[in-house]
Structure 1
Amino acid sequence: MLKACVKQNPCDNMPSPNPIALDELLEHIDAEPIHVMPSPNPIALNRLLDPELSQGYGPPSGVNPYHSWPVQSSQNSMQSPQNSQDSLHLLDDNMFEMAFVNQPRIKIIAQPKAIYRERYLADFDKELNRASRFIRSSEKNHNYPSIKIPTVYRDTQNLIRVALVTVPTSTAPDRYVHPYSLTVPESETGVIHDKKSNALYFPITEQDIEEKNDGIKRFCSLMLIKHKQDVLNSHGPMCLFDHDSLPTENQEHLSKNKTAKDLIRMFKLFQSQLAFTVLKPQNEQYVILKETTVYSQIMVEETENKKQNKNTTTYQIHRYAPKYGGCSGDDDVILILNTKIDKKNLSIHFENIIDNDQHWRVSITDFEIIDRTITFRSPPYFDNNIDESVAVYIVLTQNDVEIGRERYFYQPICTNFYQSFSNIGQPAKRTCLDRFIASDGIDDQVNPSQSPVPVTRDQQLTSDMQQLSLNTNTNVERELKDFLTRLKSCLAALLTDNDTQPLLRVTKKLINKYNDNLLHCAIKNGHTLLAQQLSAVVARLPDSIIERKNNNGETAIILAAKLNQIDLLETLFSISQDLIYAVDNKNNNVFHLLTSQNNSNKTIEFILNCLNDKSINIKQKFDQPNGNGKTPLQLSVEHSNFESTKMLIEIGHFNTNVTDEKNGDSLVHLAVRTGDLSMVKYFINDVKLDGQLSNLRMTPCDLAKTLNQETIYDFLNEKYPLQPLSSSDSEQNSEDETD
Structure 2
Amino acid sequence: MNLDNAFLSNADVIHGETSSKHEALEIIAQPCPKSKLRYRSDYNSNEKRRGVLQSQNNPNYRSPAIRIPKTYLDVTEHYVIRVCLVTVEHEKTKLRYIHPYDLEDIENDTYNDRPNKAVWYPIQGNDIDGIKSFPNLRIVKKKADDLKKHGDFRVFDSQTAGDFTPQLTCIRDTIKEFNLDKAQLAFTVGKKVIDTTNTTIVYALTTIFSNEIIDTTSKELDFDNTPTESKTLRSHPPKLSECLMYKYAPRQGHRNSKDEVLIFYTNGLQLKTYGELEVIFECEISDGKWWSEPVLDLEVKNQMVSFRTPIFPYVINDITPVNIILRQKKRTLEQLIFNYIPSSQCPNCSQRTMEQMNLCEETSLNKRRRCDMNINDETTDDMTLIFDNNPVIQQSNLESVS
- Whether TM exceeds 0.5 here: the answer is yes
In the alignment, what sits opposite 1:295?
209
- The alpha carbon displacement at 1:229 in A equals 0.5
Identify the residue that residue 144 of structure 1 maps to in structure 2: 63
- Comparing both structures, which one devotes a greater share of its residues to strand? 2
Contact 1:165 1:178 in 2 (8 A): yes
Does 1:173 find its partner at 2:173?
no
Matched, 1:196 2:115: yes
Q: CA deviation at 1:104?
A: 2.5
Matched, 1:93 2:15: yes
How does the TM-score come out when normalised to structure 1? 0.33
Q: Which of the residues 255, 268, 272 maps onto 1:345?
A: 268
Could you tell me which residue of structure 1 aligns to residue 159 of structure 2?
244
Contact 1:172/1:266 (8 A) holds in 2:
no
- How far the C-alpha of 1:276 sits from its partner, in A, is 0.2
CA offset digits 1:355-384 (Å, max 9, x no partner): xxxxxxxxxxxxxxxxxxxxxxxxxxxxxx
Where does residue 105 of structure 2 map in the other structure? 184
Task: Quote the Cα distance in structure 1 between the aligned partners of 2:267 and 2:86.
Answer: 36
| 2:29 alignment partner in structure 1 | 110
Within 5 A, what are the aligned runs for 1:296-375? 296-303=210-217, 307-311=239-243, 313=245, 315-318=247-250, 341=264, 344-345=267-268
> CA separation of 1:242/1:345 partners in 2, compared to 1, >3 Å: closer, same or farther?
same
Distance 1:108 1:236 in 2: 32
Q: Distance in 1 between matches of 2:7 and 2:147?
A: 32
Deviation of 1:309 after TM superposition, in Å, equals 3.2
Q: Is the 8 A contact 2:193 2:200 kept in 1?
A: yes
Distance 2:152 2:354 in 1: 53
2:307 is aligned, of 400, 405, 412, to: 405
> Among 211, 219, 222, which residue is 2:134 paired with?
219
Tell me what 2:184 maps to. 273
Partner SS state of residue 139, structure 2: strand
Contact in 2 for aligned 1:236/1:258 (Cα 8 Å): no
> Quick one: structure 1 residues 256 and 140, their matched pair in 2 at CA, closer, same or farther if it must change by over 3 Å?
closer
Mark the runs of 5 or more structure 2 residues left unpaired by the alignment: 220-237, 253-259, 271-295, 310-350, 364-368, 384-402
1:124 to 43, 47, 60: 43
1:217: how far off?
1.0
* Conservation of the 8 A alpha-carbon contact between 2:361 and 2:371: no
Q: Cα deviation per residue 1:43-87 (whole Å; 9 max; x = unaligned)?
A: xxxxxxxxxxxxxxxxxxxxxxxxxxxxxxxxxxx9648x96776
Q: Where in structure 2 are the equivalents of 1:53-68 lying within 5 Å?
A: none
Q: Please give the alpha-carbon distance, in whole angstroms, between the structure 2 residues aligned to 1:257 and 1:304.
A: 18
In the superposition, the TM-score normalised over structure 2's length comes to 0.57
- 1:619 partner SS: coil
Which letter does structure 2 place at the counterpart of 1:139? N
Shift of 1:160: 0.6
Q: Secondary structure at the match of 1:161?
A: strand
Counterpart amino acid of 1:273?
A: Q
Which of the pair is proportionally richer in helix?
A: 1
CA distance in 1, matches of 2:89, 2:358: 45
Deviation of 1:317 after TM superposition, in Å, equals 2.0
Q: Which has the larger radius of gyration?
A: 1
For 1:235, the equivalent position in structure 2 comes to 150
Which whole-Å deviations, capped at 9, do the CAs of 1:506-538 have from their partners, x for residues lacking one?
A: xxxxxxxxxxxxxxxxxxxxxxxxxxxxxxxxx
Matched, 1:154 2:73: yes
CA 1:194–1:569 in structure 2 vs 1: closer, same or farther (change >3 Å)?
Answer: closer
2:26, 2:67 within 8 Å by CA — same for their partners in 1? yes
Alignment of 1:254-269 (within 5 A): 254-255=165-166, 258-269=169-180
Residue matched to 2:376: 619
**Native 8 Å contact 1:150 1:215 kept in 2:** yes
8 Å contact 2:98–2:154 — kept in the other structure?
A: yes
Superposition deviation, residue 146 in structure 1: 1.2
Extract unaligned runs of 5+ from structure 1.
1-77, 321-334, 348-391, 408-564, 578-611, 623-650, 653-739
Say whether the 8 Å CA contact 1:130–1:616 is kept in structure 2: no
Distance 1:618 1:258, change over 3 A: same
SS at 2:38 equivalent: coil
CA distance in 1, matches of 2:53, 2:89: 21
The Cα of 1:105 is off from its aligned counterpart by 1.5
**What per-residue deviation string (whole Å, max 9, x for no partner) do you get for residues 167-206 of structure 1?**
2223443211100111122xx2375111111000112222
Among all aligned residue pairs of Structure 1 and Structure 2, give the percentage whose two residues are the same amino acid: 26
Partner Cα separation in structure 2 for residue 173 and residue 570 of structure 1? 38
Number of aligned positions between the proteins:
278
Q: Shift in Å at residue 223 of structure 1?
A: 1.3
1:275-674 matches, cutoff 5 A: 275-284=186-195, 285-303=199-217, 307-311=239-243, 313=245, 315-318=247-250, 341=264, 344-345=267-268, 395=299, 403-406=305-308, 573-574=359-360, 613-614=370-371, 618-620=375-377
For residues 177 and 395 of structure 1, do their structure 2 counterparts lie closer, same or farther at Cα, with a shift above 3 Å needed? same
CA contact (8 A) 1:164 1:274 kept: yes
Question: Which residue of structure 2 lines up, in the alignment, with residue 350 of structure 1?
Answer: none
Distance in 2 of aligned mates of 1:567 and 1:267: 34
CA distance in 2, matches of 1:202, 1:85: 11
- State the alpha-carbon separation in 1 of the partners of residues 8 and 27 from structure 2: 30
Aligned 8 A contact 1:93 1:100 in 2? no
- CA gap 1:346/1:245 in 2 versus in 1, 3 angstroms: closer
- Answer yes or no: is the 8 Å Cα contact 2:112–2:120 preserved in 1: yes
Partners of 2:251 and 2:3 in 1: CA distance: 47
RMSD between aligned residues: 4.1
